[in-house]
Amino acid sequence: MLTIENLHATVAGKPILKGLTLSVSAGEVHAIMGPNGAGKSTLAYVLGGRPGYEVTEGFVTLDGRDLLALAPDERAAAGLFLGFQYPVEIPGVSNVQFLRTALNAQRRARGESEISAGDFLRLTREQSDSLGMSMDMMKRNVNVGFSGGEKKRGEMVQMGIIDPRLAVLDETDSGLDIDALRVVAEGINRIMRRPDKAVLLITHYQRLLDLVVPDFVHVLAEGRIVRSGGPDLARQLEREGYAEIAA
C-alpha cells in the first residue's frame, strides 16, 4: 500500500530525513519510535504534504500513485489521513460543518455523490457515540475549548467519518490520561484494523502499543530506519532506551 524509498527531506534547509525506506502493506499496523529530533514528525508531515517540508531525494507511493506529486487535498482524497500531535483549533467552524465539507470534497474528488444531510448526521452520531463524544460537542467549533483528550477523540471521530485507507497518526497518545488512551486505542482498532487499511503509528511509549498491537516496530534515528522488529522491540526500547539501538 505505502512504499517509501530512500526518502530525504529538509526543513528550512536543514536535512532531517536522510534515506528513509519503509514498506507498509494493507492490513498492517507499523509503529515508528525513536528519540526526539529523529525525524518522526517530519515523516508524518512530508507524507501529509505540509508546506515547508522539502523532499530532495527518493519517492513515496500510495496504492501505486506518486504521493509526492499530489497536493495535500489530493492525498486525502487518495485515502491518506494525518492525525496531529497537537490538533489545531478552528474558531467559527463547527465540527459537523468541517467534517461534512471535508467528506463531500473527498467524495467529489473520487467521482462519488455527496452524502445527504440525514445520512451524514447518522454517521456522525454513530462515530461520536462510539468515542464518547456527544452531538452537542460535535456542534461546537473545531477543538475550541476542548481538553487534550477531547481533541484526540474528536480526531478519531474525523477518522471514522472520513474512513481512510492509510492513517498516519503522529503521537496520538500525547497528553492522554489512561481512560482517554483506552478510548482512542479502541477507536483506532475499530476503524483501521481491517484487511484493506493500514496504520503508521508514531509514538514514544509502549502503553499505546499494549492496546494497538503493531505488526512491526521500527526505530527511526538520525533520519532513517536503523532497526525493525516485532512488538518485543518496543518492549526492549521501554526497558533499555534508544542509546545502544540508535547508535
At position 56, the amino acid (one-letter code) is T
Report which of 127, 233, 237 is spatially closest to residue 187, judged by C-alpha positions. Answer: 127
Rounded CA-CA distance 205/81 in Å is 22
**Which pLDDT score, from 0 to 100, does residue 162 have?**
92
For residue 27, give the C-alpha cell: 492490513
Ordered by start, the domain boundaries in the chain are: 2-240
The answer to whether 185 touches 212, Cβ cutoff 8 Å, is yes
Fold of 2-240: Rossmann fold (3.40.50)
Sequence-distant (6+) residues with CB within 8 A of 93 are 141, 142
The answer to whether 142 touches 94, Cβ cutoff 8 Å, is yes
pLDDT per residue rounded down to tens, the chain (247 residues): 999 999 999 999 999 999 999 999 999 999 999 988 889 999 999 999 999 999 999 999 999 999 999 999 999 999 999 998 888 899 999 999 999 999 999 999 889 999 999 999 999 999 999 888 889 999 999 999 898 888 888 999 999 999 999 999 998 888 788 888 998 899 999 999 999 999 999 998 888 999 999 999 999 999 999 999 999 999 998 888 887 776 5
Placement of cell 525525524 in the chain: 39
